[in-house]
């Protein structure tokens, strides 16, 4: 749908508009029709029908309703001036932030026919109706990042839709850093009462319909309750949200994030993740009322693929 340049050039205006429309930040065409104080228009970028009620902002037409557009000579006489100024979401500001993302990840997430992809494809088929997936990594971050990429690609291929990757590792070593988002605004910088600040911090990835929310400028200062607050906002705009975190016992905030999951997986590396640590993690999950926890065991045989 949209592909950023991978040579350091800014993302094009068309890609920015596509991303903002996908996330619900539409821009009403000024050529609106007004009837009884209610405005009717279309998004100037994607053509979506929009409506504006008195005292409200431009929004998409509610489900179950439709705008019937007539030819100009068939329309009744209507006012063509907005009854009041529109204080819409700061789309221009959002566009500026998206445009300043800078050089995007040079690593394109690609699905392959390797044993790793087949194993993660099997996992993707088991997620069912889960919308929010948490991958709790009890292994080194290089292994965790590779697994996160493979899982995301397979979930998208098997389940379809738009995917949001969230780096909640509370460090600068997670999937965000791997995909070029280190040192940029992200999860640590969002404001719970202004969910569009999450949109400002999102990064377009080379794989269509896959977007990244990195760890942020101050990963260690991340407040997990903010994720819980904006999750409904994000859930309305993405089909699946995959959250990456470290060992559940590495930080007390990790448990708060894990509670958001519809599906929770512990990622361990064969021969390297201590069994005592895995047992402790499973006990911690159970003690917090999370009994549906599955273990994903990875290994790195010759050739660099992974088994699960």
Mean pLDDT, residues 279-306: 75
In a domain, 255, yes or no: yes
pLDDT grade, residue 6 (50/70/90)?
Answer: very low
16 burial (CB, 10 Å; 0-12 / 13-18 / 19+) is buried
Q: Are 141 and 173 in contact (CB under 8 A)?
A: yes
68 and 209 share a domain?
A: no
Helix axes 13-22 and 91-99, enclosed angle (nearest 10): 120
Q: Are 59 and 41 in contact (CB under 8 A)?
A: no
Q: Which of 44, 63, 88 is the last residue of a domain?
A: 88
83 and 112 share a domain?
A: no
Residue, of 12 and 32, whose pLDDT is higher: 32
Closest CA to 206 of 111, 112, 107: 107
211 and 239 share a domain?
A: yes
Please write the tens of the pLDDT for every residue from 19-47. Answer: 667 666 788 888 788 877 788 888 888 88
pLDDT over threshold 80, residue 145: yes
In a domain, 20, yes or no: no
pLDDT grade, residue 55 (50/70/90)?
Answer: confident
| Among 65-69, 115-119, 291-295, the range of highest mean pLDDT | 291-295
Q: Are 172 and 182 in contact (CB under 8 A)?
A: yes
What mean pLDDT is reported for the chain?
A: 77
122 and 176 share a domain?
A: yes
170 and 121 share a domain?
A: yes
Question: Can you give the pLDDT at residue 77?
Answer: 44
In a domain, 107, yes or no: yes
In a domain, 152, yes or no: yes
In a domain, 68, yes or no: yes
Quote the domain boundaries for residue 122: 102-298
Q: Which of 66, 88, 110 is the last residue of a domain?
A: 88
Question: Can you give the pLDDT at residue 199?
Answer: 87
Q: Is the pTM of this model over 0.75?
A: no
What's the domain count of the chain? 2
In a domain, 108, yes or no: yes
In a domain, 229, yes or no: yes
Residue, of 1 and 291, whose pLDDT is higher: 291
pLDDT over threshold 90, residue 192: no
Question: Can you give the pLDDT at residue 270?
Answer: 81
Please write the tens of the pLDDT for every residue from 91-137. Answer: 554 444 444 333 333 333 444 444 555 678 888 888 888 999 999 99
In a domain, 21, yes or no: no
84 and 150 share a domain?
A: no
pLDDT over threshold 80, residue 10: no
Tell me how far apart the alpha carbons of residues 180 and 242 are, in angstroms, rounded to a whole number.
18
257 and 117 share a domain?
A: yes
31 and 139 share a domain?
A: no
CATH code for position 276: 3.40.50.300
150 and 294 share a domain?
A: yes
113 and 194 share a domain?
A: yes
pLDDT grade, residue 70 (50/70/90)?
Answer: low
118 and 187 share a domain?
A: yes
76: DSSP letter: P
Tell me how far apart the alpha carbons of residues 168 and 137 are, in angstroms, rounded to a whole number.
11
Q: Which of 62, 88, 114 is the last residue of a domain?
A: 88
189 and 154 share a domain?
A: yes
Please write the tens of the pLDDT for every residue from 75-85. Answer: 444 444 455 55
């Amino acid at each position: 749908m949209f592909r950023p340049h991978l040579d350091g050039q800014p993302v094009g205006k068309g890609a920015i508009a596509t991303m903002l429309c996908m996330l619900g930040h539409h821009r009403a065409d000024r050529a609106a029709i007004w009837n009884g104080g209610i405005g009717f228009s279309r998004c100037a970028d994607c053509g979506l029908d929009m409506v504006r009620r008195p005292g409200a902002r431009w929004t998409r037409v509610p489900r179950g309703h439709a705008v019937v557009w007539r030819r100009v000579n068939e329309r009744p006489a209507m006012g063509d001036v907005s009854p009041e100024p529109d204080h819409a979401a700061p789309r221009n500001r959002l566009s500026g932030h998206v445009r300043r993302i800078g050089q995007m990840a040079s690593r394109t997430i690609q699905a392959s026919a390797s044993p790793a992809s087949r194993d993660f494809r099997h996992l993707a088929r088991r997620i069912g109706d889960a919308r929010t997936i948490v991958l709790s990594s009890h292994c080194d971050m290089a292994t965790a990042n590779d697994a996160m990429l493979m899982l995301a690609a397979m979930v998208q291929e098997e389940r379809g839709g738009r995917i949001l990757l969230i780096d909640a590792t509370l460090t600068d070593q997670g999937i965000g850093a791997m995909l070029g988002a280190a040192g940029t605004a992200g999860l640590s910088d969002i404001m719970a009462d202004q969910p569009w600040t999450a949109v400002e911090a999102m990064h377009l990835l080379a794989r269509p319909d896959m977007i990244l929310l990195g760890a942020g400028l101050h990963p260690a200062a991340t407040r997990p309750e903010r994720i819980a607050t904006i999750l409904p906002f994000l859930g309305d705009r993405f089909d699946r949200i995959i959250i990456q975190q470290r060992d559940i016992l590495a930080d007390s905030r990790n448990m708060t994030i894990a509670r958001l999951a519809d599906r929770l997986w512990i990622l361990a590396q064969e021969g390297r993740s201590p069994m005592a640590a895995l047992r402790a993690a499973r006990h911690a999950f159970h003690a917090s009322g999370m009994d549906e926890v599955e273990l994903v065991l990875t290994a790195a045989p010759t050739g660099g693929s992974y088994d699960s």
